[in-house]
Structure 1
């Protein structure tokens, strides 16, 4: 795994946005889709913001770009079923992706270049395994942006202890993961409001389906995450985000506040 330290989170965003734009252009020239694996939350926001600005300034045809989200909360219905929250919910991962990723990218592009609605992908809690098959059929994920939980190293919604061979599945969310997400989604008023279940892409899914992976770690709150990941030599189930070291073409991108703390 290659490690890069940047002056600011914005610098991380700029570097990865240029790489993504170049990858989309190359995929267009080759006549196939570019698949971008995307987490929700704060860590990747500098990338999404920089990518939207880059594409608005120098448009690239994103009509074949596939945005593949990593996870979604699930809420318990009165009859006991587990279903995604409404897209309008402040913590909806689908809502985040539609607004903060696709919405911002499309805002700066002409109609013909915009991401198509059918190219926004989410795992389906009724058929979790279909997500892995769908990504494999697309040729894999060209670049998987990754993020680590600050308190327990969760990646997507994979909790500590997740098996190395785990695939996309429905999981019970670890309490620390839920506490981390109080900061990710500040409209939660208490831990009791954070859902206890989610659907997530698996650990093996990330490692085996990604052609390249970029772990994004910034801010003082991610110093432990930086230390655990940068020192890892193999997957450590106690800190699931360490799976990045087993991904092909893996990179760790940190700002100085995280790396030098």
Structure 2
């Protein structure tokens, strides 16, 4: 079934709406005395959401002691060693650094409650998320050129789990926009560990696909389908429980 599309006048308005939805969920989980797991991508699309959420946490004086941030991916070495590219997590393209500086840091969430898939045992991430009770809300974003989600490349099956993948050049070129300090395609790592398309589908209670900017107009059209298309992995939003597409007017073409 096609995921409902909600259009917002600006990416900031989108961020405000989604941040409020997350904050409401955090408060509900606190009342129910349970953990709240927020699935987060790195990159440009969710930045307004993260900033708005940090502001709401201050305004509402929210207690986040029960909140876990579940990240989606990270670059790994191509040699099969099961090691991250940046072991110190300080590189400009480090998803660990992004999570610390742009998500967990502003929210005051310690490293122990920021989860990443382990490239030495990727499949255990699926188990960890399932044992946590699933992901209360998973924020997703789509690659502009090939529909990759996290590092899942075109051709990823709907039942794929967390694993190490080789990144196609289309994804690596998109990553140059996400991390503008890359001087050339040769500098972009060729492999990554990624949460699976099937993982997202299985463990998420809510999914919000965030699409912003005129350069993503074609991506919005590829998302408005009634079934999962493995050639556009971000279309998993159609197969998820409570999956919705949030786009700004620039991306929606209005």
Range class of TM-score, shorter chain: over 0.9
Between Structure 1 and Structure 2, how many residues are aligned? 250
CA distance in 2, matches of 1:192, 1:65: 37
Q: State the match for 1:8 in structure 2.
A: 10
Q: State the match for 2:103 in structure 1.
A: 101
1:88 maps onto 2:82 in alignment: no
TM-score relative to the length of structure 1:
0.93
Q: State the match for 1:220 in structure 2.
A: 214
Q: State the match for 1:44 in structure 2.
A: 46
Quote how far apart the aligned CAs of 1:117 are. Answer: 2.7
Quote how far apart the aligned CAs of 1:116 are. Answer: 3.4
Q: Contact between 1:212 and 1:248, CA under 8 Å: does it hold in 2?
A: yes
CA deviation vs aligned residue, 1:224-246 (integer Å, no higher than 9, x gap) = 1101002x111101110000110
TM-score relative to the length of structure 2:
0.96
Query: Residue 83 of structure 1: SS of its match in structure 2?
Result: coil
Q: State the match for 1:245 in structure 2.
A: 238
CA distance in 2, matches of 1:81, 1:210: 30
Extract unaligned runs of 5+ from structure 1.
107-114
CA distance in 2, matches of 1:32, 1:119: 14
1:178 maps onto 2:172 in alignment: yes
Extract unaligned runs of 5+ from structure 2.
none
* Coordinate RMSD, CA, aligned: 1.1
CA distance in 2, matches of 1:2, 1:133: 29
Q: Contact between 1:63 and 1:116, CA under 8 Å: does it hold in 2?
A: no
Quote how far apart the aligned CAs of 1:76 are. Answer: 4.4
CA deviation vs aligned residue, 1:6-49 (integer Å, no higher than 9, x gap) = 00000110001111111011101111110000000001111001
CA distance in 2, matches of 1:197, 1:82: 11
CA deviation vs aligned residue, 1:47-87 (integer Å, no higher than 9, x gap) = 0010011112221100110000000011347xx62421131
Quote how far apart the aligned CAs of 1:3 are. Answer: 1.2
CA distance in 1, matches of 2:185, 2:221: 27
The one of 156, 163, 167 aligned to 1:162: 156
CA distance in 1, matches of 2:174, 2:54: 27
Q: Contact between 2:214 and 2:253, CA under 8 Å: does it hold in 1?
A: no
Which of structure 1's runs of 4+ aligned residues deviate more than 3 A? none
Query: Residue 77 of structure 2: SS of its match in structure 1?
Result: strand
